[in-house]
Each structure stands twice: as C-alpha cells, then as structure tokens.
Amino acid sequence: MTTALVTGGNRGLGLETGRQLAAAGLDVVLTARSADAAEAAAADLGVRAEQLDVSDPDSVTGCAQRLQDAGIQVDVLVNNAGIYPTPPLLRVDEATMRAAFEVHVLGVWRTCRAFVPGMRERGWGRVVNVSTGYTTESPPGGGAYGFSKTAMNILTRIMAREAGPGVLVNAVDPGWVATRMGGPNAPLKVEEGADTVVWLATLPDDGPTDGFWLERRRLAW
C-alpha cells in the first residue's frame, strides 16, 4: 500500500488533498502543527494523524522517527503547510520574512530530507510542493509570501535532480482557492484546487518531474 504524508492537512487544501488521496486508495498520514487539530481532521477521514510543525526541526525528525518505529514508509510527500504574510518586501520585518522562509523553504527542505532518502533507496516516490502563481513572464506578488514560494520552486528543481530515478518531484500552483487563506471570494472550490496536487501525487512511473503545474498544465519557469 502506498502511503502519503500531507503537511498542513487539518483544513483547506491540505484536508481536501488528504480526502482525495484516501479516496484513491492511498494510506494517508495527515499532519498539523497542533496534535489536536491533526487528530480531529484525521478522524473525519479515517486516516492516521501526526503532529508535525515544518518550522521546527525536532518536530520533523520526531514525526519521521515515530513513523519509522511504526513500520510506515512515506512514498508520497505533499508539502502543503503554509502561511500568508503579504507586506511588501520593502516594508516587511525580518521576523515575518524569516517565518515565511522557515515554513515554505526550510520546512520543505526538512521534510524532503526526512523522507526523500527512503524514496530514493526504494526507487519510487512522489513529492508535490504546493506553491503559488509564477511564470518567467510574471513573477509573483505577495511580499514575503511570494518571495518564499518562489524560493520553494527553485528548491523543487534542485530536489528533482537529487531525488534519483523513480522519484518524481514537482511544484504546483493550485490557483485561487476558497479556503481560509484564499478567502470566500476565490473562484475555485477546494476540490478544484486539490485536483492537480492529487494528480501529481499519483503520477504513473513515466510521469513528469522537475515541473511547475497549474490545472495539469506545465508552465514555463
């Protein structure tokens, strides 16, 4: 059985991604910064819950160790955890900028460092990094949010090269989705936003890697 771990899985896009992956027959590990939030969300889906704060190195290694001790190997990693600091770069304070990079860049690096080596050793895996709108012609706005998500895209490309044969690593722009972060006026339902995330998480063996995707279309980046 293929096991997928979703970060930031207690609500919104992460929760819907976990729901769709479970419906597709994967074993799902739903994680959140709060153990109680993870437990509540996972109970609704009938999947495993784990406390995982990607900004805390000990939390990442602790989660990986608990799964290892339970005999669970992570085959699919969905890096969905995110925060939304949008002050312009010339006005944002250092603490806010650091927080954005802790979650969107170092957090993704930490989870990849914890789980991708096992995928590489087994010769199979999928990594999906949930990013934001970006193309070579249109860099993102959003201050620290857009800056750190763009750095995540570069990390995705490097990780795709290091992950080894059989491990497909991609980034995705889910679009403007009606979640707590996206707001009630967003045009996409959460089910629609999760579609390309789940598609990338369940790619066939001849599927693409080192890509940036929107609505299952590869974008230049």
For the range 135-143, what are the long-range contacts, defined as Cβ-Cβ under 8 Å and sequence gap of 24 or more?
135/219, 135/220, 135/221, 136/220, 136/221, 137/220, 141/86, 142/84, 142/86, 143/85, 143/86, 143/87, 143/88, 143/89, 143/92
84 is catalytic: no
Q: Among residues 47, 103, 143, 145, which one is catalytic? A: 145
- Cβ pair 167, 125 in contact under 8 A: yes
Q: Which residues are catalytic?
A: 145
